Structure 1
Amino acid sequence: MKLFKYIFWLAGAGLILTGCQKELEKINRNPNESETVQPDYLLTNGIKTNVDTYWGNDAAFETSLLYVQYWAKIQYTDPDRYIPAATSIQTVWNNFYAQGVEDFTTLAALGDSLNNPNYKAVAIIMRSWIFQVLTDLYGDVPYKQTADIEKYLTPQYDNQRDIYLGLLAELKTAAGLINTSADGIAGDILLRGDLLKWKKFANSLRLRIALRIADQEFDAAKAVFDEIGADNSNLIASNDENVKLNYLASPNQNPVAKNRETRNDYRISKSVVDKLNALNDPRLTIYAAMPRDTNKIIGVTNGLPTDSASRLGFNKTSDVGAVFTAASAPAVLFSYAELLFIKAEAAQRGLLAGEDAATLYAAAVTASLKQYGVSDAAVATYLLQPSVVYNAANYKQSIGDQKWLALFGDGLAGFAEWRRLDYPKLPAAYTGVLGGKSPLRLTYPSSEQALNGVNYKAAVAHQGADQLITRLWFDKE
């Protein structure tokens, strides 16, 4: 796999003579090994490595899961106080570009050379998902020029608006390329080669992005909902169609399970526990584990000093529930509940015609509860509570609170939606270092300043200071 070259480019590389380089390439060729990448291997590896990054230490445990207050830290609390490790920020960037954008760009080209449009479509969908995650996190990022890194060693940053609009167009193209009557694909560990499910994933991502831009580009968002918002046959239609990677036993276990093999410094946030208790929510005992030394679920306040957090006791505070920490716990990239929340908000805001927001909201809450095996009777009781009943006069609170709960565990999606909807109202970390404010993005990695400085400076000049509290374009006040 080629690494995303500008990240690792060293000035001394220019000293290598072209002729010597060609000679070395000849010497280092292995006549017994194929030099052609197999598309099924590339697809399997691309899915696994990028989902691992998405649900892993740097993009989730040490950043987004803390910022959106799903998790808290009971040891080494600096990240929970908004002091992220430089390595975390760098690793997210490196992995998504080198193991994501690069690999899926290669796979898309293979789809063309093999005359298999389905490989190309799947590659575009996965690459678009990665770009959506990158721009959600950082804001303006390299996008258009990354498709030809041989030509653009130091690619320009694109404006977030242009990235989202570009992704909407790419996903539409990908959905149109899918041909269930043509050659299938192999190596698909995400949707098991079900091309209709890939089309549904693409269209559901289009609706997610359309809602993401709706505060700034209402007409463009509405055009997407007008086109596909009511076409349930081509959207995720049940919990059985949730887009998720099913993990196995070690060494192919869930990243959360792998983390728990050697560490014990994460707990469920007090913010989540308090909200679930206030709503008499049956997900409490699913999302949180019972501490060994108590008979009560206890969450941890975000951003405690290390000494204060440590005194709470490992066996007296609650870890995240086994449904997330088990080796085979799935990593969900897009759920039916999320799609229904998207449609509920779209109906409320006039983006989706002919639909009732309250009905869709109730269906979304139901889908989230049923995703975790809550009984029909418990669901019915829950929906009747005045604190849960949909409030059209403050739809952002109704949808924001319940969507935050439904996305629990998915730190990156939860972080984006919390910023956009401004609910629930979460206090800043107890001893946070941002003057009582909470993070609104990740800063760019230091390698960008060193190796892509001209374009980095242009991005900062356009977007604003390279700080955690800089508001992104989609996050309109």
Structure 2
Amino acid sequence: MLKKIAPLIILVLALSACNDQLDEININQNATEHPRAPFLLTGVQKQGADLYWGSENNYGSTLLFVQFWASIQYPEADRFDLANTDFTSLWNKGYATLITDLNTIINFPKEEANDNYKGIALSLRSWVFLLLTDAYGNIPYTEAGQKMTPAYDTQRDVYLGLLKDLATAQSLLNTSAEKVTGDVVYNDDKGYADIAKWKKFTNSLRLRIALRIADREPDLAKQEIINVVNDGAGLISSNSEIFQFIYRSSPQQNPIAAIFETRDDDRISQTIVNKLYELEDPRLSVFAQLPSDNSVGKYVGLPNAVDNPSSWGFTKTSKPGAYFLKSESPAVIFSYAEVQFGLSEAVARGFITGDAENYYKQAITASLNQFGVTDTAIVGRYLRQPSVKYNAANYKKSIGEQKWIAFYGQGLDAFAEWRRLDYPELKAGSASVLDGKIPVRFFYPGTEQSLNGKSYKAAVENQGEDLLTTRLWFDVK
């Protein structure tokens, strides 16, 4: 009997030893088992900038929708010939990476992440949720990260929830409290986060969201903007306080620069080139390059969604400006110009007192300065043009057209503001496939139908068909 048991004991011990070895082998020695707040913060900022400034959310969709760019080859996206598989990265990375990592910081005990970390994380999470709802409409918000199949919140509830989250973030941020490291956006000369600037960014984001709901919930929008304007923390107040991610050399370069290193698929749109020529806008030489064929001698935009766009000539049409194709070009996420346009609109709507035209002029000046136009004579001449002058009787047109120009490169937010303000008046290209319409939202990713079908179906029933042409709650025509 003992002779029979002994081999079994030896086998069990051998298997146990193998399991111990396998456990060790399966440990990734390069991975952090317990992430730290500074590293998570740095990662979110870099990955968030990449998501916002590059990939399918910007140069593969919204830069085409708002007619900043046009496709000279592979024109399917420019023609709106798109499927739900074309709109996955914002959703997948937004939830699985950015929101997950930010929730980790928010849920850390205080000894691992002080209140300033949590305030920054809450502000950044609000920004990510805002991108998601602006693009898709109803989204998982309350139950996001809490359940495997989260319910979708209505867009109204998401916006109102984000305003509350940002108010909480503002209360957590304290310039006299503990330091924050790992911030590569608003870091000071000692490598610590500049909490005063984070407080300004948080208020600026509140202003942006308040204007998103202004056509639907004017009383709530008015009160929120009054609260923001009266908050002593202030708003982004100069170009030196722009919220932007500064890229470095390859492989950490601007994603637009990276794509143009190996591809030549896009040109600047004829729509914006014509508008900038019409306004004698000095930003044209920043936004576009002269065609490589020297005989052309002027900026030539490519019409959006035309048959055989390559026939316009790769060497005879303008690429996006060299400013945007440098490895170190910044991913601008929130500009000083946007704040000034927002204040101008708030005055025009009667939400706050002030001079709407003066804010409007300051916004345009800020945008010109941001793109290197600093000569006061040039700026003054531009502002005096009748076609640029503020029109109080149609503030949406004045602000909408100039804000569109100022947002060049920021496809997701230009797309949101164009839908909200209805200016400029864009027309779909002749070869587009949506019966003369331009998309007004993203498709939900196809995986939502298979993995979260019940919640997806309820969202569609509430919001409308899952089509590119279904208007979202904030988008009042």
| Fold in common (TM above 0.5) | yes
Report the alpha carbon displacement of residue 377 of structure 1 after superposing the two structures with TM: 0.8
Contact kept, 8 Å, 2:237 with 2:336, in 1: the verdict is: yes
Counting only pairs closer than 5 Å after superposition, residues 280-299 of structure 1 correspond to structure 2 as 280-293=280-293, 294-299=296-301
Contact kept, 8 Å, 1:254 with 1:331, in 2: the verdict is: yes
SS in 2 for 1:267: strand
Give 1:90's match in structure 2, choosing from 83, 88, 91.
88
Give 1:183's match in structure 2, choosing from 178, 184, 192.
178
Q: Which residue of 2 aligns with 1:417?
A: 417
SS in 1 for 2:420: helix
SS in 1 for 2:312: coil
Q: Which residue of 1 aligns with 2:447?
A: 447
Q: What are the superposed Cα offsets for residues 339-376 of structure 1, whole Å, 9 maximum, x if unpaired? A: 00000000000112x21111111111111111112111
Task: Please say which of residues 226-235 and 121-130 is displaced more in the overlay.
Answer: 226-235
SS in 1 for 2:59: helix
CA distance 1:179–1:302, shift in 2 (3 Å)? same
CA distance 1:199–1:111, shift in 2 (3 Å)? farther
Q: Which residue of 1 aligns with 2:271?
A: 271
Contact kept, 8 Å, 1:111 with 1:117, in 2: the verdict is: no
Give distance in 1, aligned partners of 2:27 and 2:380.
65
Q: Which residue of 1 aligns with 2:405?
A: 405
Give 1:63's match in structure 2, choosing from 61, 64, 80.
61
Q: Which residue of 1 aligns with 2:351?
A: 351
Q: Which residue of 2 aligns with 1:428?
A: 428
Q: Which residue of 1 aligns with 2:154?
A: 159
Report the alpha carbon displacement of residue 112 of structure 1 after superposing the two structures with TM: 3.7
Give distance in 2, aligned partners of 1:114 and 1:147.
20
Give distance in 1, aligned partners of 2:145 and 2:474.
24
Give distance in 1, aligned partners of 2:31 and 2:322.
43
Give distance in 2, aligned partners of 1:415 and 1:97.
21
Q: Which residue of 2 aligns with 1:171?
A: 166
Contact kept, 8 Å, 1:63 with 1:84, in 2: the verdict is: no
Q: What are the superposed Cα offsets for residues 178-227 of structure 1, whole Å, 9 maximum, x if unpaired? A: 11222211111111111111111110000000000010011111111111
Contact kept, 8 Å, 2:37 with 2:113, in 1: the verdict is: no
SS in 2 for 1:80: coil
Q: What are the superposed Cα offsets for residues 290-334 of structure 1, whole Å, 9 maximum, x if unpaired? A: 1110211000101123xx211111111001101111110000010
Task: Please say which of residues 35-44 and 71-80 is displaced more in the overlay.
Answer: 35-44
Q: Quick one: percent identity of the two aligned structures? A: 50
Give distance in 2, aligned partners of 1:205 and 1:267.
31
SS in 1 for 2:60: helix
Contact kept, 8 Å, 2:84 with 2:444, in 1: the verdict is: no
Q: What are the superposed Cα offsets for residues 233-291 of structure 1, whole Å, 9 maximum, x if unpaired? A: 52100001000000111011000000001110111000100110111111111111111
Give distance in 2, aligned partners of 1:30 and 1:418.
47
Please give the TM-score of this superposition, normalised by the length of structure 1: 0.91
CA distance 1:358–1:38, shift in 2 (3 Å)? same
Please give the TM-score of this superposition, normalised by the length of structure 2: 0.91
CA distance 1:31–1:268, shift in 2 (3 Å)? closer
Give distance in 2, aligned partners of 1:263 and 1:175.
43
Q: Which residue of 2 aligns with 1:459?
A: 459
Report the alpha carbon displacement of residue 430 of structure 1 after superposing the two structures with TM: 2.1
Contact kept, 8 Å, 2:199 with 2:233, in 1: the verdict is: no
CA distance 1:281–1:30, shift in 2 (3 Å)? closer
Larger Rg: 2
Q: Which residue of 1 aligns with 2:303?
A: 301
Task: Please say which of residues 185-194 and 252-261 is displaced more in the overlay.
Answer: 185-194
SS in 1 for 2:443: coil
Q: Which residue of 1 aligns with 2:361?
A: 362
Report the alpha carbon displacement of residue 46 of structure 1 after superposing the two structures with TM: 1.1
User: Structure 1 segments of 4 or more deviating over 6 A?
Assistant: 23-27, 30-33
SS in 2 for 1:72: strand
Give distance in 2, aligned partners of 1:283 and 1:231.
34
**Could you tell me which amino acid in structure 1 is paired with residue 392 of structure 2?**
A
**Could you tell me which amino acid in structure 2 is paired with residue 225 of structure 1?**
I
Q: Which residue of 2 aligns with 1:475?
A: 475
Q: Which residue of 2 aligns with 1:75?
A: 73
Q: Which residue of 1 aligns with 2:257?
A: 257
Give distance in 1, aligned partners of 2:45 and 2:86.
20
Task: Please say which of residues 133-142 and 40-49 is displaced more in the overlay.
Answer: 40-49
Unaligned runs of 5+ in 1: 1-20
Give distance in 1, aligned partners of 2:287 and 2:476.
31
Counting only pairs closer than 5 Å after superposition, residues 128-147 of structure 1 correspond to structure 2 as 128-147=126-145
SS in 2 for 1:81: coil
SS in 2 for 1:333: strand
Report the alpha carbon displacement of residue 27 of structure 1 after superposing the two structures with TM: 7.8
Report the alpha carbon displacement of residue 232 of structure 1 after superposing the two structures with TM: 7.1
**Could you tell me which amino acid in structure 2 is paired with residue 268 of structure 1?**
I
Counting only pairs closer than 5 Å after superposition, residues 27-42 of structure 1 correspond to structure 2 as 28-29=26-27, 35-42=33-40
Give 1:46's match in structure 2, choosing from 44, 47, 67.
44
Q: What are the superposed Cα offsets for residues 33-58 of structure 1, whole Å, 9 maximum, x if unpaired? A: 75211111111111111110111121
Q: Which residue of 1 aligns with 2:237?
A: 237
Give distance in 1, aligned partners of 2:47 and 2:364.
31
Contact kept, 8 Å, 2:367 with 2:406, in 1: the verdict is: yes
SS in 1 for 2:244: strand
Contact kept, 8 Å, 1:401 with 1:423, in 2: the verdict is: yes
Give distance in 2, aligned partners of 1:413 and 1:230.
25
Q: Which residue of 2 aligns with 1:16?
A: none
What is the number of residues matched between the two proteins?
A: 451
Q: Which residue of 1 aligns with 2:14?
A: none
CA distance 1:31–1:51, shift in 2 (3 Å)? closer
Q: Which residue of 1 aligns with 2:9?
A: none
Unaligned runs of 5+ in 2: 1-18, 188-192
Report the alpha carbon displacement of residue 87 of structure 1 after superposing the two structures with TM: 3.6
Q: Which residue of 2 aligns with 1:103?
A: 101
CA distance 1:30–1:315, shift in 2 (3 Å)? closer
SS in 1 for 2:129: helix
Contact kept, 8 Å, 1:69 with 1:271, in 2: the verdict is: yes
**Could you tell me which amino acid in structure 2 is paired with residue 81 of structure 1?**
R
Contact kept, 8 Å, 2:36 with 2:112, in 1: the verdict is: no
Report the alpha carbon displacement of residue 171 of structure 1 after superposing the two structures with TM: 0.6
Give distance in 1, aligned partners of 2:109 and 2:313.
54
Q: Which residue of 2 aligns with 1:13?
A: none
Q: Which residue of 1 aligns with 2:3?
A: none
Counting only pairs closer than 5 Å after superposition, residues 177-216 of structure 1 correspond to structure 2 as 177-192=172-187, 193-216=193-216
Contact kept, 8 Å, 2:254 with 2:327, in 1: the verdict is: yes
Report the alpha carbon displacement of residue 398 of structure 1 after superposing the two structures with TM: 0.4
Give distance in 1, aligned partners of 2:366 and 2:30.
52
Q: Which residue of 1 aligns with 2:340?
A: 340
**Could you tell me which amino acid in structure 1 is paired with residue 173 of structure 2?**
I
